[in-house]
Structure 1
Amino acid sequence: MSISKFGKRSFRNVASKLLRLSSLGEKSSEVVGKDGSAIIHATAPTAKPLYEIVRDLPRLFPRSLAESKRDYATFHSNVDLMQLELLRTLPFFERTGYNKRAYLRKTEIDSDGNYINELVIEPANVDPNKKRKRLIFVHGYGAGLGFYLKNYEHLPLLDDSWSIHAIDLPGYGFSSRMDFPFQFPRDDTSVVCDWFISRLRTLFEKRGFDKSDNIVMAHSMGAYLMAFYLNKYPDSVKKMVMCSPAGISRSQYSINNNITEDISSGKEEIKLKIKKVPWWYTKLWDRNISPFVLVRKTGILGSKITSGWTYRRFKPILLNKENNYEQFEKLHRYSFAIFNMKGSGEYLLSFVLECGGDPRSPLENSLFSSDANKFGIDNAGIKNSSCEWVWVYGANDWMDIHGAERVTKDFLMNNRKKSRVVTIPESGHHLYFDNYPMFNSLLIDEMKSLQ
């Protein structure tokens, strides 16, 4: 399961924070310099005192009760509509008269009839004899394919030589919400990851994605999974765009570090003050009490609670020149729908990340390391793959860009792999949305490089 920098005084409350965590959003910790000035560093969210929760309740959740009731009714009468109405804001979705077309399809991935939901964008006049390259979107924790609307809207298919495929991971979005058969810490993380990878492999094979002419754009937790997928199937991806990936390295500004620590910044000594996560929140995290429980357990108030996250996350749509209220509204309803569905794939979170967002086992020390065997990992797939790596972070990202820099320098380039690290300005963890024009430009350049 995706937030501009703000100081700890502006935190809303635990509920709102949980919803931010649902897409691995970022916050900032306050760093005080010698002169008393504030310096900001992005870190993972932390909890908020109860009195502040009560104080902020009246302004926390902007959606009206009437609208929340309406959303609840739609969810229970026709939940599929909440995805369709969002995608219908794309002018070429299920319509003719454009140079490209978009539609949904479902691919069964097991004998129980479970399926993966996919959005396909392809040239309007499909030539069956023309081989097309693929740009594949894989979302992050708590998210769904609908979050990339601004990318689908503006990305070209480059002379009809490309198609775009966006998937909902197993147990996410509008894919089947099967029972999640694992429990932390009883089950091993590698077994849980294999559960996802085997289902993704079935999709890739059935859809013909198992060829090398693919660019995969994977965000956050999706990037974590796709790194393991590539290691197991090294010839299936030509370029891997790791968009603010989860699980790569521990942040030096982790909320699990000491509450106060001194950091030298060359010209001055600064003191970093970070509030530690309450013990009870860690217990909830480890027991898979996911952020979406708040939405699922509050009935007609679920959409109103969701607005504590969506009205901030998608607000830029209302502020830019498009001022697209319809998309803003549909993105909220879509978010409520996928947050309110049965919990399934989201339970991967506690296996991969500690409470607060740091990895339990950083990939820079395991999968992307010459010492991978010490962790029981055979990373021969990545070592032997010809895949090119592009690591992309927001300038205000709380994910640690330095981990990607170390992986690039110390592992990938040492193994003669092409790898580079890119920063997108004016963006955070959800850089694909925060600065979608520049992010789209990056993707177009990567597509052109394979022409």
Structure 2
Amino acid sequence: MLLIKRYLMDPESLRRQIMNVYKCYMWKRAFHSNRSLLEVKRREKSLQRKILERILRPKEENAVKKSGFKLWSSHLNNPHKTYMRLEELQRRIMEEVHVEGIKKNDKLFNEINQWHFQNENTSTVRTPTLLIHGYAASSMSFFRNYPGLSKHIRNLYSIDMPASGLSSVPSLEINTTTPLPLDIKFIGENKFKVPYTINANHNKFVIQMYEDFYLDRIEQWRIDNKLGKMNVVGHSFGGYLSFKYAVKYPNSVNKLCLVSPLGVERNIWSVNNNFHSNTLYTIDFKNPNSKFYSKRNMIPKYLFEQQFHILRMMGPLGAKLCWNYIMAAYSRVPSLAYKEYIFELFYGKGGIPEVTTDIFKALFSRCILAKDPLMDSLQYLNVKKLLIVYGQYDWMNKKAGMFMVKEVEQFKELSRRSKLFRNTFFRSQSFFR
């Protein structure tokens, strides 16, 4: 409570204190690992620090300030009210979206919330094209792309994935025994070993069951819409799922576009590695094509386990920090309704259902590296064309994408647009035509 009061009374003072503690922590790490002064300065602008800055002090320009107490008190409700707010905010967002042809919103069989943009006057892209959003997001992530894309794509679809946005929340059923998980013991700065071997096939089978929660429902959605082969565009976690969908249902995918895809890198957390027990291995921090690859930083276990629930546990402070982050992260997006929509997802009760976070934790490590990386399944990909897109300031691993396209035997292309950023679709509205 003291921390909350201090923030509400003097947020700038608290921000400075936290940033000073963070800097001391970084200098201490540098000293103990014998890193140079220049390396420390480079790391000061790490992803973690950027997020911390966004949370504690959003950019003043175009920032809409809201009371943490009012945000918190207005969200002491049940998931149904969160759903109603999301529904209203979706309506407000899409009212401002003007497209070529017909714009239609349905909840197919009361399960998948979908948008269909039909433009009979274009012949540029005749193949139906599906947009798949990332983690903790929805079809609204692409709202600024719809006008540009609908000019060139005859039938454009965008959906809220199961347990996302306004789609229903199916139950998660894993009908098998829980496998012994991969356990990695770190030794020093760059060594590790596994205390026991795992059943790789069983672990991979369970991972596929978690993935099928999404993949099978995407396929059923395609069948329900009476679509043949379609182009699939997936962003971030949606890119990971789009790739896995193309592998499982090769007859359903024509062209595949991965925008800043998550889970590309081979890494030490992969269940496909077959490490020997109690053998000392050296971590490779540079090569995302190596099974010994890992990142230096891990999300603390408690934060990874609790995720968005922590914000609600923090009361008014959590609401304020969440709003600050959204104001900073989406500062270039002019729509206030969209920012309020994101707040409902992140902070609203039931905005991000527990099943969504459970699946994500089952598929990724605390380094946000996939337990069944895309690069371990390249030999099974069979699409007409593959396009991988990264932004200039993308925090996804572009080097992994370069390795990936070198290994794919079909037609391949890696696009690095000089003016694209992490949220590519917000700044390049006609990119995928």
TM-score (norm 2): 0.67
The equivalent residue for 1:118 is 114
Distance in 2, matches of 1:350 and 1:327, equals 27
Which of these residues, 163, 171, 176, is aligned with residue 155 of structure 2? 163
The equivalent residue for 1:420 is 413
1:346 aligns with 2:384: no
Distance in 1, matches of 2:237 and 2:372, equals 14
What is the DSSP-based 3-state SS (H/G/I as helix, E as strand, rest coil) of the residue aligned with 2:413? Answer: strand
The equivalent residue for 2:132 is 138
What is the DSSP-based 3-state SS (H/G/I as helix, E as strand, rest coil) of the residue aligned with 2:104? Answer: strand
AA matched with 1:103: K
CA offset digits 1:359-404 (Å, max 9, x no partner)? 223221x2014xxxxxxxxx2xx2xx34210001122222211222
Distance in 1, matches of 2:219 and 2:101, equals 27
The 8 Å contact of residues 192 and 348 in structure 1, kept in 2 or not, is answered as yes
The 8 Å contact of residues 140 and 223 in structure 1, kept in 2 or not, is answered as yes
Which of these residues, 392, 399, 407, is aligned with residue 389 of structure 2? 392
AA matched with 2:102: R
The equivalent residue for 1:90 is 94
1:401 aligns with 2:401: no
The equivalent residue for 1:316 is 332
The equivalent residue for 2:307 is 291
Distance in 2, matches of 1:120 and 1:44, equals 35
In structure 2, do the counterparts of structure 1 residues 361 and 66 end up closer, same or farther at CA, with 3 Å as the change threshold? same
Distance in 1, matches of 2:224 and 2:256, equals 21
The 8 Å contact of residues 134 and 236 in structure 2, kept in 1 or not, is answered as yes
Distance in 2, matches of 1:42 and 1:368, equals 33
Which of these residues, 63, 67, 74, is aligned with residue 66 of structure 2? 63
The equivalent residue for 2:369 is 358
CA offset digits 1:86-126 (Å, max 9, x no partner)? 34333466xxx974332321123xxxxx6111122223xx6
* Percent of pairs with identical residues: 18
Between 192-201 and 424-433, the greater mean CA deviation after superposition: 424-433
Which of these residues, 197, 204, 209, is aligned with residue 215 of structure 2? 197
Distance in 1, matches of 2:104 and 2:348, equals 19
The equivalent residue for 2:28 is none
Distance in 2, matches of 1:169 and 1:69, equals 29
Distance in 2, matches of 1:308 and 1:184, equals 40
Between 190-199 and 77-86, the greater mean CA deviation after superposition: 77-86
The equivalent residue for 2:191 is none
The 8 Å contact of residues 142 and 339 in structure 1, kept in 2 or not, is answered as no
1:282 aligns with 2:305: no
The 8 Å contact of residues 179 and 344 in structure 1, kept in 2 or not, is answered as yes
The equivalent residue for 2:378 is 368
The equivalent residue for 2:262 is 246
The 8 Å contact of residues 144 and 338 in structure 1, kept in 2 or not, is answered as no
The 8 Å contact of residues 148 and 432 in structure 1, kept in 2 or not, is answered as yes
The equivalent residue for 2:424 is 431
In structure 2, do the counterparts of structure 1 residues 226 and 190 end up closer, same or farther at CA, with 3 Å as the change threshold? same
In structure 2, do the counterparts of structure 1 residues 346 and 162 end up closer, same or farther at CA, with 3 Å as the change threshold? farther
Q: CA deviation at 1:133?
A: 2.9
The equivalent residue for 2:10 is none
Q: CA deviation at 1:168?
A: 1.4
Distance in 1, matches of 2:42 and 2:297, equals 19
AA matched with 1:342: P
The equivalent residue for 1:220 is 236
Q: CA deviation at 1:166?
A: 0.9
Q: Which runs of 5+ in 2 are unaligned?
A: 1-14, 20-33, 182-202, 269-280, 288-294
Distance in 2, matches of 1:143 and 1:368, equals 26
The equivalent residue for 1:179 is 171
Q: CA deviation at 1:189?
A: 0.7
What is the DSSP-based 3-state SS (H/G/I as helix, E as strand, rest coil) of the residue aligned with 1:178? Answer: coil
CA offset digits 1:270-324 (Å, max 9, x no partner)? xxxx86437xx23663xxx24121245456776434314311121112xxxxx54
Number of corresponding residues: 351
In structure 2, do the counterparts of structure 1 residues 340 and 386 end up closer, same or farther at CA, with 3 Å as the change threshold? closer
TM-align CA RMSD? 4.3
Q: CA deviation at 1:349?
A: 1.5
AA matched with 1:360: K
Distance in 1, matches of 2:18 and 2:156, equals 37
The 8 Å contact of residues 233 and 242 in structure 2, kept in 1 or not, is answered as no
In structure 2, do the counterparts of structure 1 residues 10 and 418 end up closer, same or farther at CA, with 3 Å as the change threshold? farther
The equivalent residue for 2:196 is none
The equivalent residue for 1:268 is none
The 8 Å contact of residues 171 and 346 in structure 1, kept in 2 or not, is answered as no
In structure 2, do the counterparts of structure 1 residues 220 and 41 end up closer, same or farther at CA, with 3 Å as the change threshold? farther
Q: CA deviation at 1:241?
A: 0.8
Q: CA deviation at 1:420?
A: 0.8
Distance in 1, matches of 2:16 and 2:256, equals 36
The equivalent residue for 2:143 is 149
Distance in 2, matches of 1:331 and 1:163, equals 27
Distance in 2, matches of 1:146 and 1:311, equals 17
Distance in 2, matches of 1:142 and 1:91, equals 23
Q: CA deviation at 1:261?
A: 7.9
Q: Which runs of 5+ in 1 are unaligned?
A: 1-8, 14-30, 109-113, 264-273, 318-322, 370-378, 445-451
The 8 Å contact of residues 82 and 348 in structure 2, kept in 1 or not, is answered as no
